Copies of this chain bind each other. A is one copy, B any other.
Amino acid sequence: LPNPLLRKLELFGPLNAGDKKFVDDALARARTVAAHTDLISEGQSPSDVHLVVEGLCCRYKILPSGQRQIFAYLVPGDFCDLNVFILRAMDHNIATLAVSRIVEIPRDTILAMVARPQLARALWWATLVDEATLREWLVNVGQRTAEIRIAHLFCEIHLRLSVVGQADDRSFFFPVTQVELADTVGLSPVHVNRSLQSLRARDLIDFKKGLVELHDLGKLRKLCSFNPNYLHLEGGKLDRGDFGEDRPRS
């Protein structure tokens, strides 16, 4: 079973043997966490950095009114709280959605990683992709209709899971409830249910019990005009791997 973090980071650029070993060692001891368990809560200031090795987690916030908004799904290879080095306190929560394997990487280990130039850039790249993903979610909730919102979300998750070898072209596991989907895309659970039925009726996707079956990925992507640029994936290899160099640009 390949290291999902390594797999992700190498999309950005090649790592040397030392870098790889470093990453591998860092993920050596993962612990298993039950589903629906908070890993970090708002106001806390964890000393270590959490990383998802297996399973599914999410960032979320609960409003005074009791409403919940999910900001991000964290799939294998994703960091939970790299910002720990700078910000005093978390401004949101992170929880598991399914049984997951989590590693807690000590601060010092992260610092040592950042001391390796290529790894440092790869980590930075990962956080920038997180931010770009967040922007796309804002587009999703701000501009798209219910059905297309959900279609777009599935397209994204599918691609991100593919990167870490957790999805093929026909299906993938995505263990969330319809209520959680609703809190993700800013819709009511009832409407999510109906939108899912509508997508099934169009013979695009079938989602039940945490399994997404893609009946026609191409049509699904067309429906929501899915443009994966913001994930900086395939293009990732072409992304700037250098720092100070001043080469000409188009």
Contact = CB atoms under 8 A, between A and B. Distances in A.
Residue from A47, A138, A238 having most chain B Cβ neighbours under 10 A: A138
Contacts of A130: 131
A57 to B, nearest CB: 15
B83 A128 contact: yes
B87 A143 contact: no
Given A91-B132, A141-B142, 17 more contacts: A45-B249, A61-B135, A63-B139, A63-B143, A65-B143, A67-B143, A86-B121, A86-B125, A86-B128, A87-B240, A88-B235, A91-B135, A111-B244, A127-B131, A131-B131, A134-B138, A143-B186
29 contacts: A45-B240, A45-B250, A47-B249, A61-B139, A63-B139, A63-B143, A65-B225, A69-B143, A85-B240, A86-B128, A87-B125, A87-B128, A87-B232, A87-B239, A87-B240, A88-B235, A88-B239, A89-B235, A91-B230, A92-B135, A108-B244, A108-B246, A111-B244, A130-B131, A131-B134, A137-B138, A138-B141, A141-B186, A142-B186
Interface string A76-118: 0000000101111101100000000000000110010000000
Interface in A126-172: 127-128, 130-132, 134-135, 137-139, 141-143
Nearest to A183: B142
A125 B84 CA distance: 10
Contacts of A87: 125, 128, 232, 239-240
A119 interface: no
Contacts of A139: 61, 63, 69
Nearest to A129: B87
A248 to B, nearest CB: 9
A90 B249 CA distance: 13
Contacts of A92: 135
